[in-house]
Structure 1
């Protein structure tokens, strides 16, 4: 039965009962006329009807004979329900009620308290002790309250029976309609969450009670925990009382965690603590999810950026605005975590120790909070000689490492494969089922971690993304075109910035896609051909573009303020872009100058290492090689090493030579190694002279040092006070030193 039908039924029943009472008692005439009035809300507690000042229950008495004064009488109260009767005891003591003829007297509150005291009532149909323990609380139902006046001395009825019928049913608890059960609530910044509920006692006779609401919210741990159990046993995240049917959960309340599950419950409470509601006023528990947890960055990749630097890159997710990188030195007793912040999906960790193993993780920050860290990954930094670590030159891959020969189904752009101890970043790939051809980039440790373009054809890659067959070679074609295209793209980008910022206004600000420009800028900053000064200037441009993006999203500024600030940032951007263009032109001029000196140095060295001299060195090498091989073949069982039979016109190697065996080598082996070193040096000089790649030459120039200073810095300073002919010997010495360093790392 719904609430409307229930109310209609109760009202009809009340009218029927009242009409019967009026008919039955209208025929008898008494000296005193008594009427009873009970005002809503109708309580289940007797003491509510006798509460002072509320006048919920009133008895009106009229002594009809005006000639009578100071008439003493008493009352008899009777309460009747279904199977329950409460009636005044006939002999309990109370002070008399004194009536004056012709005057209406009203009794209420404390006047009636003695008659409603359970100790003065005869109770039938209920457990008297339980009734007292519950605070004189009646069961739910419909009750007829009646009153009669008795002569105080003779104890006879001297009035009619005054009646009132009340309905005392518990009210239903509220229903929560916001948030909806099992829904997902958007996480906002700042925090702003609306809870709303609908009261269900307002249509009953009890609507006049002063009702408040107790709000309680708990976090569900684990996420699938029963909300009713959590609300009964868990310490609340937030709890408060309110008289309203809406609660705004703002930034001043405890912060909720995006992605977490919560449960809320509303309890309707009568102000004096009376039990007026079903289920003690508790609503149903409502479970909801607060926003989405900020995702974990994907594809976290580490690459050596220098002997003491490690560059981390990752794929950002939607809504991820900032990132936290943490790293530590690994081991049985790892060091503490060190944290760094980045607004870009990459970060270079500096100051790492050579030869040490490091662990690292990345997490992301969305508008509504941080997500979880990525899984812990580790990386072994190369040692000082680049003989150990995750990027090592010349390490032989064992058969055990290549046991997995199950072909990878697909290789795509951005994938990282391992070839020996080298990480290859794929730019383009064709093929399937383990056999692929394409291009990529590789970092070479013994060239001080420079990045080189590579090409591969029909290599075999297993499901672990490791190459187990095939060859990856340096790509030497069109490198000059790549550099030319890069310079043109960067120049056009800077021109575009200059063009945009000269026309900026409020409308123009909305049209600028600063986020896309930042994305393009980050791609350009990844070009290895750019010098450090230009990279720093591009970083400043990126900072200003971020300011421009934040300015677009700032809702607290007026359009006029936005326009003023936008013009200020625009002027700064214009200045920075012009500086970057000048620096780029200066860098290109400097590179041309350095390459010119480098080529002159190589040309002069080539004159010293003529083809005739190289032939002579090869004959000397062959002679020393044959003597060493003869010696080794004779003493192989004692020495335990061998010399490679594979020789070519470039560099030959000694492999599998143990340190203990080297100590036993006689002069013949030392002579062979000396001949090999001389031939290798002459061969590399010949290769450098024959090179036509400006890009390869620039990479070598970047490695050169003169008197422990970077080649470019030393030459720039020297050219101011000297002629090229005067510093050319230093250039030649630097080239030879670099060649020897490379040979030492190779051998």
Structure 2
């Protein structure tokens, strides 16, 4: 009985010890301080905005839950984690102590937080210290703000690191507004009463910064000094009018300071992001837009009753004359925002546009000059070109009968002007001269799918209707030269993998998918044409990776744009980053393949040089002399035989010398060495001997050319292509020979034989 009680006591004691151990272990995992971090969105990329102002944007609450320590003296450790950058408080910085009473939550003030955001107290990775010192601004991306509590006396962390972090927040810097009206450098016609409309486009509405209350500071100045750049004059001139508005349009009317006709004015807009009375730095360039200028002209109204008519692919724009205008200008472009503006100038009340592309829509405006160098433009209008008529080229090749009634020569032409050379519009790219002109341009050829062909001209004259009077405009077309194309319209054909690598270096994943696909297709084509099998497989794989990663990136980008929660945006951003990483890997793989190809070229070229020189040794000086002698002898004998044959055909008379043949004489051309009546065996023998000697001589010439130029890349590529046509790739042939344990000397001998046979085959063709 005593033994049973004793055993029971031991079991209870052991259980109690285990419970105590579990209690102490659990207690060891508890921290003395709880931390709660809350960020109020949107969050400014400027660090100072998190601890300054009247309203805190970062709320931190600390709670001392260690009842055994009724008062704790602590400091914080701030860590800002982003995808590309991280900031962390230094351990040896100066941080005022914070007193925490047990059980009493403490919400930190802006003054409490300020030391932790000082640049001198932060270590940065992923962002240069100079960049951080310059503007104290975080790069765009997702960030998490974490707070750890450190006891001042012991230096130990007494809060849970994982529980002291905010939710991920998106931080970005937005572009300043884009100015629209009045147009930059334009002229505004003075009217009574004067009502000017200033308009701009905000460029932050698609970002989180749109949640701020945005207002705009509008500034207008009169520029007195017109000899310096308008931007400098604006910054050194007191504002004529300045106001703040929440709208993106401002009406400047009679209630504002009066503007003077003939004066030059400049204006800009500053975007401000605000919450209450606090202003936040979320815009580049401190929110300042570009500076635009305009001239308030004397009463210079744009032309009225503007009309465009389209007939036979020619657009005629007409208008009512404006007596105050000395010259008119018609500006036109395709109906899309990024299209390039073209213009035609005239002193008449109409103008013809010849280079509009069939099937496309255009917008245009008509204006003119009341004062030199200052144009006033009217409203935008539009026209649509009809689809191309298949019969439009039925008179291709016929010269039109052009009679110009206007023989008055124009005195001045400028870059970008358009003139007519016959039925062809010529756009001047560079032009110089006065009265007679020289320069370059391009002409659009309708029957070549409206191709733009480079031209040059010298000493031409043009009438006031901008029609060619005298002189020649010559095309500079070269099949090896890229003709005039608008940037982005045509992908230039690349010649080899090296040039593809150069193009890839400037290609980003944000480029248009068509551009990436065409680049990938070019890599596949070059791999098929230029590379041996092993490198070809690698190149095709890299091209597939390049194209597929672009597809994945575009799909992820759409997901990101359509995401409605931070989590969805973060997931889409990860996909975009992975696709971008794969894209860059593919570019590096293509670069590596080009380097491998360069090594192969060196090896193959070295072997080919040895093969050619080995072949040249075969044709030593003695053999060369014999070949030349045989060629000369057979040529002489064949010529004598042909002369004798001609004499026989002329009944024994001497063959007349050149120029002594009478008008009635019958001229006999002997273009064959087989002539009826002659000894066929002699002709056949001499003809065969002559051809053989000539072929040997040509073979020697070809060998000498190869020997001289085989190290040139063009000859290497020529041989590679010829060998591919006649069988295996040259590199594959050499690799196969090496795999068969052939020595270099044996490979050189076989290459010499192949080159000789190749030359014979080419000469026989």
Give the alignment's TM-score, normalised by structure 1: 0.31
Give the alignment's TM-score, normalised by structure 2: 0.31
